[in-house]
Amino acid sequence: MTTVVVPREALEAASDPEKAYYLTGAVVDYVNQIQRAGVYAGRELPAVAMQAYHADLYLAQVNNGGHSQFIRNTGVAMLPTTSGDALAGLKAMGASAQHQILQEMIAWVDEHPGEAALQSGFENRAAELDALDARFYEAERLQPMTPLAARWIANWPELRAVAKEQYASEIERLAQLNPLLPERRIWLSVRQVSYQITDRLQLTVAAACGGVMPDPELKLKVLAGFDLDVEGEQCRTFGVKTDKGSRLCVFEEAGGRLYEAGTSSPFVGARLSTVGADTIRNFSRIAEENLAAEAIDLLLRKLGLDPAAAITALSVSDGRAAWYAVTGNTFVLIETLGDRAYVVGSDGKAALTVTRAEIERHAAEAAVGRDSLPTPP
């Protein structure tokens, strides 16, 4: 990819220092949208785009929670790439003071890898990083990065400004230039389904929702976790959204328990279901053996539905499992077996079937997409 597309009004606003953030924000939007629509890896986009993107991330993170937060939210593994891009961007835009500060932060991380890994942006904050924060805020007061960045971006030969109403179609045109777009899109959606039916927390919640009797609840979203007193014990509990409303799911070694969520104390209502660790392991095993993620993705695509679905684990037995897939306003009941998978119609019979051979071909396409993406350092 050699082009960076922004709305024309964002480029025109860059001449005003007070509105410079329109252009820097437009580049951030471009990177996010082209990666989502075209499934491009960061290294496949123009280098300047990633430099501006990560410089803006650096600015936002330090302004929000200091260098400690920047390290924590970036992650030690990705810090060299992200910081390297940001350094190049800061140098190119002429933010010399911020560039020097970031260099010193990188040196500190190299010298204190253990302490760097413990940074949280909150309780765990290194004094050396707090000192860098103070210098950074002073540098921003004297010469803020954003107007410098906007002036730099406005002169990129890679930049292309289009009318606001043309922006979406231009993003899609550039997305279609990716020769591996179909395979990468399959891989991303298969991975999203696979995560829900193999990750222990996600699968526990999915199975707890599916275990509600007599009518299973459809899992829509798993929310943040917190410790809560449940039935007289402190338990790790996660918020859950289902088609019936707000729920709470206790997540523990023994399995999971789904409860109604109260709006005031007590916050935990009636217990709705209990699912054991053996059942969760069986779901995970059958999902892997039957290529359930690939099968679910393939069936949803054949139905013409968005494969970005929320999955509920309904039942599992020897060699087979049943799942609900919720996509948009539609829910689909799918059974996966060793030799096939099918959509269950309203009459309880197979409405659409795919064979193991078809599922394996779909899995091979997903693997092509996966293997074509550069491995993060």
DSSP string, 290-337: TTHHHHHHHHHHHTT--S--EEEEEEEETTEEEEEEEETTEEEEEEEE
6-15, 29-38, 262-271: the lowest-pLDDT one: 262-271
Taking 90 as the threshold, does the pLDDT of residue 266 lie above it? no
What is the residue-averaged pLDDT of the chain? 95
Q: Between residues 264 and 316, which one has the greater pLDDT?
A: 316
Q: What integer is the mean pLDDT of 228-240?
A: 94
pLDDT tens digits, residue range 165-181? Answer: 999 999 999 999 999 99
- pLDDT at 263 (0 to 100): 79
- pLDDT at 375 (0 to 100): 67
Percent of the chain at pLDDT above 70?
99
Note whether 211 and 257 are within 8 A (CB).
no
CA distances from 208 to 31, 115, 222 (A): 38, 39, 12
Nearest-angstrom CA–CA distance, 290 and 274: 25
- Would you call the peptide bond into 266 cis, given omega within 30 degrees of 0 as the criterion? yes
pTM of the model: 0.82
Nearest-angstrom CA–CA distance, 263 and 258: 16
- pLDDT at 377 (0 to 100): 45
Q: What amino acid is encoded at 108 in this protein?
A: W
Band of pLDDT at residue 122, cut at 50, 70 and 90: confident
Nearest-angstrom CA–CA distance, 29 and 133: 26
Give me 224's structure tokens: 């943040």
Note whether 65 and 121 are within 8 A (CB).
yes
Band of pLDDT at residue 34, cut at 50, 70 and 90: very high
Band of pLDDT at residue 376, cut at 50, 70 and 90: low
pLDDT tens digits, residue range 315-371? Answer: 999 899 999 999 999 999 999 999 999 999 988 899 999 999 999 999 999 999 999
